[in-house]
């Protein structure tokens, strides 16, 4: 594939249009699967090596980052993580395009952040055809266990995504969203500052 052809495919990817596995094959060397494997095999006690591997895997990593192993990433190099991040076991980053995660974000076990989907009609899924749209998770978001965040979604500041939800559309700031598909359940208010501050009666 020529450089001009590669540029055309990248432009299509950037516009959220359909592209195939063969067309995107030139990106394969950018995958950091061996580094992800190495991280997942490194003892938690070897903090310096784990930190170095995260810096090699991801596009950017903030301070005081905790990412429990194992995790997986399609590329790794399209993921940006802010400060004070906590990711529990089995986080999956399908980062064919950018995933941007702000500061103070917490992600529970078995969460998938996927920037990529596939056409509904089978005739359009030849050669693993797909589309990709970036994901943005703003500061102070908490994502519960077994959540799936789909392509093109932005989750607003401070919001909570309930366990088992599928987030298929944007979530505004400072709300609790739950369900399949996820919908806003309620706003987060100052009343939430007083919950679980005393023992149950």
Cβ atoms of 81 and 99 closer than 8 Å: no
Give me the helices (H) in 17-97, please: 33-41, 47-57
> In angstroms, rounded to a whole number, what is the distance separating the alpha carbons of residues 66 and 64?
7
* Active-site pick, 118, 124, 169, 186: 118
> In angstroms, rounded to a whole number, what is the distance separating the alpha carbons of residues 181 and 55?
34
* Distance set, CA 102 to CA 52, 84, 157 (Å): 20, 9, 9
- Let me know if 118 is a catalytic residue: yes
Cite the active site residues.
118
């Amino acid at each position: 594939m020529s450089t001009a052809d590669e540029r055309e495919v990248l432009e299509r990817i950037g516009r959220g249009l359909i592209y195939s596995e063969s067309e995107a094959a030139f990106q394969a060397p950018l995958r950091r699967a061996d580094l992800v494997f190495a991280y997942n095999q490194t003892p938690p006690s070897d903090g310096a090596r784990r930190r170095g591997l995260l810096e090699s895997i991801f596009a950017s990593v903030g301070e005081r980052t905790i990412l429990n192993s194992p995790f997986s990433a399609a590329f790794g190099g399209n993921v940006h993580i802010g400060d004070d991040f906590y990711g529990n076991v089995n986080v999956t980053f399908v980062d064919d395009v950018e995933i941007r995660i702000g500061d103070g974000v917490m992600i529970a076990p078995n969460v998938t952040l996927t920037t990529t989907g596939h056409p509904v009609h089978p005739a359009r899924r030849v050669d693993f055809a797909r589309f990709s749209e970036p994901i943005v998770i703003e500061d102070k978001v908490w994502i519960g266990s077994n959540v799936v965040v789909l392509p093109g979604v932005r989750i607003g500041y401070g919001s909570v995504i309930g366990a088992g939800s599928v987030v298929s559309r944007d979530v505004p700031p400072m709300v609790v969203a739950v369900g399949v598909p996820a919908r806003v359940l309620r706003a987060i208010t100052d009343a939430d500052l007083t919950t679980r501050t005393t023992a149950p009666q």
